[in-house]
Structure 1
């Protein structure tokens, strides 16, 4: 008798902790959204995002330390840029990246 109630409790808990099934399996995935929090290498991998970044930060992809900072986001890199990537530049890049559809 105790075994049956413990088994029922276990099944009930399993149902609570089981992953929720996705109902809309055929729904299209949303388009990739770029932001100043996106790693720079991901921005540079997309021609539209790269154009935005290079527009505001010409030559960033040619910088001698590019390999060292490409995994960082622009927002993370900003404090180390000696003022080159400031709040104004981040705001402009952010707005242009948001416009990418």
Structure 2
């Protein structure tokens, strides 16, 4: 009975468009930090093509770009190359290289 009364009462009320709430601009959120342009997952040939990234490779991994197998490995990333490096690409060395690559604008 009460539900029927409420339905009748609601039908008797004048129907008006709902009032829009005032719009406020959303609070500005801080811009996300830009992802590094070059990482350990960037192909070696891409790193070698950029002067700053090439300088990082030459400083942190001297001789890598001059090895006879360069043509075979240039499409790999440093992360992909690590298991085939015979222990030469240590986690510490790659961490330093990653940090240096991340500084490149």
Which TM bucket (shorter chain)? 0.5 to 0.7
Gapped runs of 5+ residues in structure 2? Answer: 1-33
**TM-score under structure 2 normalisation?**
0.65
TM-score (norm 1): 0.68
For 2:56 and 2:78, the matched residues in 1 are separated by 12
- In the alignment, the residues of structure 2 paired with residue 32 and residue 94 of structure 1 have an alpha-carbon distance, to the nearest angstrom, of 9
Is this contact kept in 1: 2:36–2:102, CA < 8 A?
A: no
Structure 1 moving runs of 4+ over 3 Å = none
The structure with the larger Rg is 2
How well do the aligned residues superpose, as a CA RMSD in angstroms?
A: 1.6
Mapped partners of 2:103, 2:63: distance in 1? 22
Paired residues, number: 72
Report the counterpart of residue 61 of structure 1 in structure 2: 65
Structure 1: segments with no counterpart, 5+ residues: 1-29
Q: CA deviation at 1:32?
A: 7.4
Deviation at 1:59?
1.0
Q: Deviations over 1:14-71 (max 9, x none)?
A: xxxxxxxxxxxxxxxx897000000000000000000001111111111010000000
